[in-house]
Structures are given as C-alpha cells and as structure tokens.
Amino acid sequence: MLLKTSPIAAQRQSAKAKTIKILVVGGTGLISSKTVRILLDRGHEVIAASPSSGVNTITGEGLAAAMAGTDVVLDLANSPSFEDAVLEFFQTAGRNLLAAEATAGVRHHVALSVVGTQDLGDSGYFRGKQRPRKP
C-alpha cells in the first residue's frame, strides 16, 4: 500500500530534502506502522508491505512490484507463530526478500531483530531470530 505524503513531509520536501523510496516489510504492525509514519513525516516515499496490502514474503506475491525503484528495505515483519515454525518463516521470508532485492537492485536491507536471544534458547521464536538467514 503506497501511502501519501503527510503535511509535515510536504513542508520538508519543499525545502529540497532528499527523498528515498523505502519498503517497510510488515508495514501494518505495531512497530512498523509507527516507523512508516515517521518516514512519511521526513518526506520519504514509503510502501507499507504486508499480506493485507498484497505483498507476501512467504509466497513472494507482490514482492517484485513493491521492490521496483526501492532504495531501502526495512524488514520489520514478525512471524505469525511463536513456536518452532518461526525458523522456517524467517528463513523463507529472508530468502524471498533478498532474492527480490537483488533482482530490483535494492542497495540497503535493514532487519529488526531481538537482543539477548542467546539466553532464551527454549523459545522456538528466539531460536528463529538467532539463526542466520542464508540467501
């Protein structure tokens, strides 16, 4: 879902601020919706990507279109499960995102993670966050 520029952003754009296109994966969630608002207020073009907006990192649906012309991907997505399936979620989503980014020429990828997960090994969710993502 492409969001319109806010009034604050319009003022900043008129001051010739550099605008970049940012794809926020998981863009309708708690943290990401606030991030989207801040980025818009700073004058950037933002796509809030989520399954509800037609962008699915698991199936790959909508990724190519969302990535077109994107400068930065912020991966703020969260797993729909906090059980052991979370590892598969993050690995599949990560592979699909990185492949789509490479095809589109996206230069920057930032992923939200969790600090201290090494001490929480009993949680499938945190084991999924610890595991490195391979393209």
Q: What is the pLDDT of residues 33-91, one digit of tens each?
A: 999 999 999 999 999 999 999 999 999 999 999 999 999 999 998 877 767 677 788 88
Does the pLDDT of residue 134 top 60, yes or no? no
Q: What is the CATH number of the domain that holds 73?
A: 3.40.50.720
Q: Is residue 103 part of a domain?
A: yes
pLDDT at position 66 = 96
pLDDT at position 59 = 95
Q: What whole-number distance in Å separates Cα of residue 16 and Cα of residue 4?
A: 18
pLDDT at position 78 = 82
- Residue 5 or residue 28, greater confidence: 28
pLDDT at position 67 = 95
Phi, psi of 31, rounded to the nearest 5 degrees? -75, -45
Structure tokens belonging to residue 106: 């996206």
pLDDT at position 85 = 77
- Residue 109 or residue 117, greater confidence: 109
Q: Is residue 91 part of a domain?
A: yes
pLDDT at position 58 = 94
- Domains in the chain: how many in total? 1
Q: Is residue 68 part of a domain?
A: yes
pLDDT tier at 5 (50, 70, 90 boundaries)?
low
Q: Is residue 4 part of a domain?
A: no
Domain hosting 105: range is 18-130
Q: Is residue 123 part of a domain?
A: yes
From the centroid of its chain, how far is CA 81?
A: 18
